Amino acid sequence: MKKILTFVLAISMVAILAACGGSDKLTDYKSKDSKFQVSATSGWKDSKGQLHPESDLEIYNPQKEKYFMTLLESKEDFKDGSLQKYYDLVTPDFVSSIDAPKQGDVKEVTINGNKALQFTLEGTSGGVNVAYLITIIETPTHYGQLMAWTLKSNWDKYKDEYTTLVNSFKEAN
């Protein structure tokens, strides 16, 4: 009887540990030109251009309504560029594309040694309430927009994952 009880307890513990999961394995996703990458947990996959025709890197988890993409532009294409000027160029059009936009405070962050400006944005797009984490980044060779978004009702449970995802952005090895 003791052996059966010990066996049942051991099997139960294995099942509980398996259900809890531990840490998810990370997968690296590279930009179309293989120069940049992000790392994401299981469930994410390459969306193969379904999110935006001009994106350089895009991944999603459609079952959980999680989306992420980057738009990268060579610094060579900008005369007298700076991170602030790039932010001023790209942000107003994007914010105005959202109905009833509510933009959070812009904060300066550093992502793998690259300066960036980051803010949250909430509003409605196509009649759907959405929430974004927007990061405008400057690398030695590019300016970029890193955008993670979901349904507004999912924001609180995904925002930490989005921050981790954005913070994994770097030049590919």
6 belongs to a structural domain: no
154 belongs to a structural domain: yes
Q: Are 73 and 143 in contact (CB under 8 A)?
A: yes
Q: What is the pLDDT along the chain (173 residues), one digit of tens a residue?
A: 444 433 333 333 333 333 344 456 899 999 999 999 999 998 999 888 888 888 999 999 999 999 999 999 999 999 888 999 999 999 999 999 999 999 999 999 999 999 999 999 999 999 999 999 999 999 999 999 999 999 999 999 999 999 999 999 999 97
Looking up residue 35, the CATH number of its domain turns out to be 3.40.1000.10
What's the pLDDT at 80? 83
**Ordered strands of the 170-171 beta sheet:** 27-30, 36-40, 170-171
What's the pLDDT at 154? 97
What's the pLDDT at 6? 35
Looking up tokens 């954005």, which residue turns up? 166
146 belongs to a structural domain: yes
Cβ density class 33-67: b for 16+ within 10 Å, e for less: eeebbbbbeeebeebeeeeeeebbbbbbbeeeebb
CA–CA separation, 98 vs 89, rounded Å?
Answer: 17
Residues paired with 6 in a beta bridge: none
Burial class (CB in 10 A: 0-12, 13-18, 19+), 11: exposed
The boundaries of the domain holding residue 162 are: 24-171
Alpha helices, H only, 21-129 = 83-96
What's the pLDDT at 50? 82
Short-list 173, 116, 119, 128, CA closest to 148: 119
The SS3 of residue 92 is: helix
158 belongs to a structural domain: yes
Domain count within the chain: 1
135 belongs to a structural domain: yes
14 belongs to a structural domain: no
Residues paired with 128 in a beta bridge: 125
Tokens of 18: 């398996």
